[in-house]
Chain A
Amino acid sequence: MTDAVAVALSVNGELVEANVLPRLNLADFLREHLKLTGTHVGCEHGVCGACTVRVNGDIVRSCLMLAVQTHNAAIETIEGVSDSGEIADLQSAFRERNALQCGFCTPGMLMAAQDLLKQSPCPDREQIREHLSGNYCRCTGYQAIVDAIESTAWTRAGRRP
């Protein structure tokens, strides 16, 4: 039974069928098998948040989910939400506010930030920090990231920053 298991799932709206070893995690499946390298692998034990993706609409750590567990699931990665234009304004705000330097944490930050803005359209800075508490950035000191998310929230709500 350590053999590969057949899975069928949707990744960014496309049907994917594959045979995966049970030990393969979702992050490595996306990166190595599907070449979707926007999902980053940092700590591999659920602490850093760089591998954040959406599974059936909810953000999860793709390093803490086995690829075999995604059978029949709908996965969305940073490539998906980027290509669809869903987070174009958030990405612009990150650029304008210098909310990224090396960019390693940015895909995970964007996935977590969009998740917050969908649930809570006008979060205050404390709520933003709490929602991002599981995402590490080693460059920016977080202020600029919080600025970018706050200004996106204001713009989406039709308010001036």
Chain B
Amino acid sequence: MKASAFAYARATSVANALELLTAYGERAKVLSGGQSLVPAMNLRLVAPDLIVDIGELTELRGAAVKRGVLTIGALTRHADLLKSPEIAAHAPLLKDAVAHIAHPAIRNRGTIGGSLAHADPASELPACMLTLGATIIARGPGGERRIAANEFFAGIYETALTPQELLVAVELPLTPKNSTHFFHEFARRHGDYAIVGLAAQASIKDERFADLRLGFFAVGDRPLLAKSASKLVDVAVTSAVLSEAASALDDELDPLEDQQATPAMRRHLAKVLLARCVSLLLARPDLCAGASA
């Protein structure tokens, strides 16, 4: 199908975009890469009165490190994240995650800000933001607001952003040199929406986790930073410890049913990912025995 009629404004600055969003509120939609918004408009799932195109605001593009913080502009494309030396050096988890986002032609247009503001529970970057402890920077009529990633995602396609606010950047702490990460998702076809996925970051000392952050996605209405990860920290991980963590994880999950999978299948796959992740990060193949999917 084709999108229904709408008015179009090419924002000339962040201030100009904010003026338009203030005037139109919920009747306006921000267009960045358009890889989620345009399909939704073509399918007539959304029909905004005004599209505010921020595509020419080059000041919102690119990644840079300053004073121990990695800042990524909202308009940075997935393809840019894949190629960026700053991302590879300071947030390698993101590079692995982006390779799973859709297909090359989509990654050439889709942006990090668009993905986060869209907040699809099955998408990769929101979970990565939880795992990496990101801060989301929004600008609105009242100035700038800094929102912790764990307070940003509020439900299916729902975030803490108000209709008058524009997501302008994300800030990430630099990944410590001795840390390690794991990213994997199950999907029917490479690049499809995940059935279940896991973005994990850890530091390991003396064959134990000194820190472990497990960001699951497609396991509920928003990404989940699993509290059950604490059961694996500062202990010698055995099959019994892992199995206890897996049942604690099960209690935290609230998976949705859709045409891809039942809640039971999602619970099973989340536990498979947990076992694979722990086994790989600790280099303990014995922990993964039987965890097949």
Chain A positions within 8 Å of B, measured between CB atoms, are 1-2, 5, 21-23, 25, 28, 44-46, 49, 52, 55, 58-61, 63-66, 68-69, 71, 112, 115-116, 129-131, 133-135
* Of the residues A5, A28, A65, contact of B38 by C-beta under 8 Å: A65
B34 touches A65 (CB 8 A): yes
* Of the residues B53, B105, B189, contact of A112 by C-beta under 8 Å: B105
B4 touches A23 (CB 8 A): yes
User: Which stretch from B5-13, B153-161, B201-209, B245-253 is at the chain A interface?
Assistant: B5-13
* Of the residues A28, A63, A68, A130, contact of B53 by C-beta under 8 Å: A68
Chain B positions within 8 Å of A, measured between CB atoms, are 1-10, 31, 34-35, 38-39, 42-43, 50-51, 53, 55, 79, 102-106, 108-109, 189-191
Question: With contacts A1-B9, A44-B42, A59-B104 known, is A28 near B109, CB below 8 A?
Answer: no
Q: Name the residue of chain B whose CB is nearest to the CB of A62.
A: B105
Q: Tell me how many residue pairs across A and B have CB atoms closer than 8 Å.
A: 95
A65 touches B43 (CB 8 A): no
* Of the residues B3, B108, B189, contact of A60 by C-beta under 8 Å: B108
Question: With contacts A46-B106, A58-B79, A133-B190 known, is A63 near B42, CB below 8 A?
Answer: yes
* Chain B hits for A55, CB < 8 A: 108
* Chain B hits for A46, CB < 8 A: 35, 38-39, 106
Interchain Cβ contacts under 8 Å between A and B, 26 examples: A1-B8, A2-B7, A2-B8, A25-B42, A28-B2, A44-B2, A49-B103, A49-B105, A52-B105, A55-B108, A58-B79, A59-B104, A61-B105, A63-B42, A64-B39, A65-B109, A66-B38, A68-B8, A68-B10, A68-B53, A112-B105, A133-B103, A134-B102, A134-B105, A134-B191, A135-B103
Question: With contacts A58-B108, A130-B190 known, is A2 near B35, CB below 8 A?
Answer: no
* Chain B hits for A131, CB < 8 A: 104
- Interface of chain A, main secondary structure: mixed
* Chain B hits for A60, CB < 8 A: 105, 108-109
* Chain A hits for B38, CB < 8 A: 25, 46, 63-66
Q: Name the residue of chain B whose CB is nearest to the CB of A58.
A: B108
CA distance A93 to B10 in the complex (A): 43
- Residue of A1, A63, A71 with most partner-chain B CB within 10 A: A1
Question: With contacts A2-B7, A5-B8, A68-B8 known, is A59 near B39, CB below 8 A?
Answer: no
A134 touches B103 (CB 8 A): yes
Give the top 10 A-B pairs by smallest Cβ distance, nearest first.
A134-B103, A1-B7, A22-B8, A45-B39, A58-B108, A133-B190, A64-B38, A59-B105, A23-B3, A2-B7
CA distance A60 to B38 in the complex (A): 13
CA distance A129 to B191 in the complex (A): 11
* Of the residues A5, A66, A115, contact of B34 by C-beta under 8 Å: A66
Q: Name the residue of chain B whose CB is nearest to the CB of A53.
A: B105
Distance in angstroms from A132 CB to nearest chain B CB is: 8
* Chain A hits for B8, CB < 8 A: 1-2, 5, 22, 66, 68
CA distance A105 to B9 in the complex (A): 34
* Chain A hits for B104, CB < 8 A: 59, 112, 115-116, 131, 134
